[in-house]
Amino acid sequence: MIFVIGEILIDIFQDYERIGGAPFNFAFHLKKLGFPVRFFTRVGNDKHGKRIIDMLEKNGFNQADVQVDSRHPTGTVRVDLDQQGIPNFDICVNVAYDHLDLNIADRLDAGVADMIYFGTLLQRTNSACRQVQRFLSRKTNGATHFCDINMRPPHVNADAVAGSLHHADLLKVNEAELADIQRAFDGPAAENDVMSWLMETFTIGAVALTRGSRGSDHHPHRAEFLHYRYRRRR
């Protein structure tokens, strides 16, 4: 079973709206590929939340995993495209997913999670960061931790980035985020050394580096390291 925790939201473009959020996209595509997925998220008690819940139900997600917040609205993002088609994101704050309750430890104790996917946008507030880091620090499960770094200023919590890197077995990061991590943690200046430094420093088993229109690269660690790491966590 794959557990996905994080945001689902409404992307608002000039001419249309669509359901988005990196954790949702990950969970949705895995579901379509036939993988067993539980998606833990939180929406507001509003029209956007009802639309999201209806869509999740139609696609076979467990409705018990979707929390409904009566005090905070469903997350939204205003997306504006420049003349080159590059998006600018205006992410609303203090929304429902900022208050996701991760009191789901009993399900982890049952040993049902083989992988836990998480990101850093969910951890943009200090309280949410502490909750996610506690959740990931639990020693009763052997799940592989897949971190999808999502550093969109000003919604970047330095403690969340550091803690998430230390918890990550697998990491997805883009070129700009990799450069920010390199600077923040005094990584090597030479480009050829950055990836090995990142994986050694934070004990990460494999990294997917996305390069926009130039595709992506996969960087596995040493085979013997991966074998040891995954065997130890199970």
Q: What pLDDT, in 10s, does the model give residues 114-152? A: 899 999 999 999 999 999 999 988 755 678 999 999 898
pLDDT band at residue 108 using 50, 70 and 90 as cut-offs: low
88/24: higher pLDDT: 24
pLDDT band at residue 106 using 50, 70 and 90 as cut-offs: low
Q: What is the pLDDT of residue 222?
A: 54
CB atoms within 10 A of CB 217: 12
Mean pLDDT of all residues in the chain? 88
* DSSP assigned state of 90: E
| 179-202: b (≥16 Cβ within 10 Å) or e | ebbbeeeebeeeeeebbebbbeeb
Q: CB-based contacts of 98: which residues, under 8 Å, 6+ apart? A: 72, 75, 122, 124, 125, 128
Domains annotated for the chain, with CATH where assigned, are 2-168 (3.40.1190.20)
Residue 86 has pLDDT above 80, yes or no: no
Q: What is the pLDDT of residue 10?
A: 97
At 154, list the tokens.
């000003």
Q: Which contiguous run of DSSP H or E holds residue 116?
A: strand 115-119
At 225, list the tokens.
């390291």
Block residue for tokens 């200046």: 189
Q: What is the pLDDT of residue 126?
A: 95
Q: What is the pLDDT of residue 139?
A: 57
CB atoms within 10 A of CB 162: 16
Residue 228 has pLDDT above 70, yes or no: no
Integer Cα distance of 46 and 134 in angstroms: 30
Cβ atoms 29, 64 nearer than 8 A? no
Integer Cα distance of 127 and 99 in angstroms: 9
Q: Which contiguous run of DSSP H or E holds residue 118?
A: strand 115-119
Cis previous bond, 154, omega within 30:
yes
Alpha-carbon distance values, 19 to 12, 36, 202, 216, 227 (Å): 9, 21, 33, 24, 37
Alpha-carbon distance values, 174 to 81, 92, 130, 188, 214 (Å): 19, 22, 25, 17, 11
Percent of the chain with pLDDT over 70: 90
Q: What is the pLDDT of residue 179?
A: 93
How, if at all, do strands 206-210 and 170-174 pair?
parallel
Residue 223 has pLDDT above 70, yes or no: no
84/49: higher pLDDT: 49
Integer Cα distance of 210 and 213 in angstroms: 9
| 93-105: b (≥16 Cβ within 10 Å) or e | eebbbbbbeeebe
